[in-house]
Amino acid sequence: MTEATVERIRLFLIESPIKMARLQGVGNVKGTVKRVLIELTSSDGVIGWGEAAPWEVFTGTPEAAFSALDIYLRPIVLGKPVRRIRALMAELDRVLVGHAEAKVGIEMALLDSVGKASGLSVADLLGGRVRDTIPLSFSIADPDFSADLERMRKMVPEGNVIYKVKTGVKPHREDLDHLEAIRKEFGEKVDLRVDYNQALAPFGAIKMLRDVEQFAPTFIEQPVPRKFLDVMAQLTAALETPVLADESCFDRRDMMEVVRREAADAVSIKLMKAGGLFEAQAIMAIADIAGLPGYGGTLWEGGIGLAAGTQLIAATPGISLGCEFYMPHHVLTEDVLEERVANRAGHVVVPDGPGLGIRVSEASVRANARVIVEA
């Protein structure tokens, strides 16, 4: 039997309008978000999709990811066996440093192809499901806090109970007022979390975070910049509230250092940081040994990337703190899927079809594409 190989790759640089501005600590987003979509066709006619969604203040630019895919990675991928994913990913690491988002986009498309060809979901390929739904966390990040509060009034009765408040962008007193307003209106009905996105300086951070603790957050995410890992360890030891590492943990080496220094109680697992679903599982395996639970984080992925994220979490027991996969339903004005990944009673429903379990709309892709390369 002839082994299927990668025959064709199409790349789309997408720019999609969003419904609301987002204040995110290290960088803000308004108007549109960009990402790169990858369509990979194998010699047996199976089509797989992937997505690269960098953020310029976090991992890189969409334009750089597009160039990395088009100029450096495409020649390596074309003609390679579709099923030999680990071997190909290792080769991509040898020929190009960094560009994790571009690489995970390729890996997604390969897994989608193999899943479709075999009739298995990506979660099956990653070891099989341990969960079929994932609790959804919505981020309170609108510059207009009253608008977010109104959203909560509609969402909480529908079963959406996890909310992560972006803090450190506005004055500290204003952050406390917002947390107080949420607790006053919704009480213990909501699972409240806070995320500083590295916004605090080490000096004085502990006092501000102790102020926040009075509102009983489930965790405090990345309070200080990535480079201050010793400060993260000090805060983790001093606070009663668990500290979650995001920017401090991109890869396995970072995870080992976080564990060694006891610099966090939990970790955010993001495909765009990790550079691969297999790599994300490897990071989580280290966290598992240390007893650190994982949280499904995102950058600005649309439905393709988030479908991959749900498949990862479905097959990875340790990512148990839910996910923030709310972009396609709540922020993007239009996604590129024929049918969005389902949300039900405050949970993301993991697609159960083969591959990523999604269908991509060619019309939507082309309508949102700014640059298309076909070869």
pLDDT digit string (tens) for 244-278?
999 999 999 999 999 999 999 999 999 999 999 99
pLDDT digit string (tens) for 156-179?
999 999 999 999 999 999 999 999
Where does CATH 3.30.390.10 sit in the chain? 5-119+361-374
- CATH of 125-349 given 3.40.50.1100, 3.40.640.10, 3.20.20.120, 3.60.15.10: 3.20.20.120
**Which amino acid makes up residue 237?**
A
Q: Sheet holding 369-374: strands in order across?
A: 47-52, 32-42, 6-17, 369-374
Where does CATH 3.20.20.120 sit in the chain? 125-349
Rounded Cα distance between 136 and 261, Å, is 30
pLDDT for the residue numbered 230 = 97
30 confidence band (pLDDT: 50, 70, 90): low
pLDDT for the residue numbered 29 = 66
pLDDT score of 25 more than 60: no
What's the 3-state SS for the chain? Answer: CCCCEEEEEEEEEEEEEECCCEECCCCEECCEEEEEEEEEEECCCCEEEEEECCCCCCCCCHHHHHHHHHHHHHHHHCCCECCCHHHHHHHHHHHCCCCHHHHHHHHHHHHHHHHHHHCCEHHHHCCCCCCCEEEEEEEECCCCHHHHHHHHHHHHHHCCCEEEEECCCCCHHHHHHHHHHHHHHHHHHCEEEEECCCCCCCCCHHHHHHHHHCCCCCCEECCCCCCCHHHHHHHHHHCCCCEEECCCCCCHHHHHHHHHHCCCCEEEECHHHHCCHHHHHHHHHHHHHHCCCEEECCCCCCHHHHHHHHHHHHCCCCCCCCECCCHHHHHECCCCECCCCCEECCEEECCCCCECCCCECHHHHHHHEEEEEEC
pLDDT for the residue numbered 369 = 77
Least confident of 9-13, 21-25, 202-206: 21-25
The superfamily CATH assigns to domain 5-119+361-374 is Enolase-like, N-terminal domain (3.30.390.10)
pTM of the model: 0.95
367 confidence band (pLDDT: 50, 70, 90): confident
**Mean pLDDT over all residues of the chain?**
94
The residues annotated with a catalytic role in the active site are: 166, 324
